[in-house]
Amino acid sequence: MPVPQSPTRDDLLATVERSPAATAAHDKTAWVSLFSSDGRVEDPVGSQPHVGHQAIGRFYDTFIAPRTIVFHRDVDIVIGNTVIRDLELEVHMGDKVQLRIPVYLQYDVVAEDHDPSLKIARLQAFWELPGMVTQFLRCGAAALPAGLALSGALLRNQGPRGALGFLAGLRTGGTRAKRTVSALLADASTGDTLAVRRRLSEPVQITRGADSRLSVSDLVEELAGTRVKKVIAAGRYALAGVERDGYRGVVIAELAPGRQGVCGLRLFAE
């Protein structure tokens, strides 16, 4: 039975949910097959992407197969063929090394002509590698075996270039990026359109979802009265959850290179 041209929200969520299911089952074949033939994994965003089934399989062998990962979901937002998942990952890297990692996941889902099922074209995992390293080091001597195992898996599966590509995820906008986005959203919450404009770099593109354009006024009107929660810096992006009674959203802001302004902003809210 062919996949409908416009999959429903339930179709998209069912596709996305197969990822944590395959992770929990340690089923590499099922996990890799979730992706389109040219699928792309950016985990964390800012590190070297993994493109195509072979590279995604090596990613699985390095980061998923050796450990237990539990998904603690908060909210899912679906716009078009994109699912944004706000969650926390519980990562067990050994009996005495357990990490809690705040994450936003973006899944872009497509239908391939030769396959009746929906596929993930891109998975972007927005989380802070520096923060994970800090948690890891706090485990003290207990973290040494897990650290050696991860280093060995990186070199074995990714090679020296891939290991360096992973470490590129350490470069983020950090505290400054998070403050910039938090301040912009605080201004939007109070309805201060002029202040929001001052925090944007020109030219700037603001969208609802991937490509539905919004004006600054539209953005401010929608975010009026919202509160900011869970701000994350990953690569050149800073993300934040926004909420008010009956409303939940996630803002993905792209920071202008070498500057403090925001040069792109995507709002995902249902």
The average confidence (pLDDT) of the chain is 93
Predicted pLDDT of residue 259:
65
The reply to whether domains 9-170 and 174-269 share a CATH topology is: yes
| Separation between Cα atoms, residue 146 and residue 132, nearest integer Å | 13
| Separation between Cα atoms, residue 35 and residue 1, nearest integer Å | 19
Predicted pLDDT of residue 1:
38
- 2 contact partners, CB below 8 Å, separation of at least 6: 116
Predicted pLDDT of residue 210:
87
pLDDT tens-digit readout, 205-243: 999 998 899 999 999 999 999 999 999 999 999 999 999
Sketch the domain layout of the chain as residue ranges.
Answer: 9-170, 174-269
pLDDT tens-digit readout, 110-125: 987 776 789 999 999 9
Whether residue 4 has pLDDT greater than 60: no
Q: What is the CATH number of domain 9-170?
A: 3.10.450.50
The structure tokens 């872009």 sit at: 108
123-126's contacts with Cβ under 8 Å and 24+ in sequence apart are 123/19, 123/35, 123/39, 123/40, 123/41, 123/42, 123/43, 124/42, 124/43, 124/45, 125/41, 125/42, 125/43, 125/44, 125/45, 126/44, 126/45, 126/232, 126/234, 126/237, 126/239, 126/252
Of 46, 207, 15, nearest to 108 (Cα)? 15
Structure tokens, 164: 């360096």
Structure tokens, 8: 């429903």
Predicted pLDDT of residue 142:
84
pLDDT tens-digit readout, 156-213: 999 999 999 999 999 999 999 999 999 999 999 999 999 999 999 988 999 999 889 9
Instruction: Identify the architecture of domain 174-269 in CATH.
Output: Roll (3.10)
Structure tokens, 168: 């590129």
pLDDT tens-digit readout, 143-159: 888 889 999 999 999 99
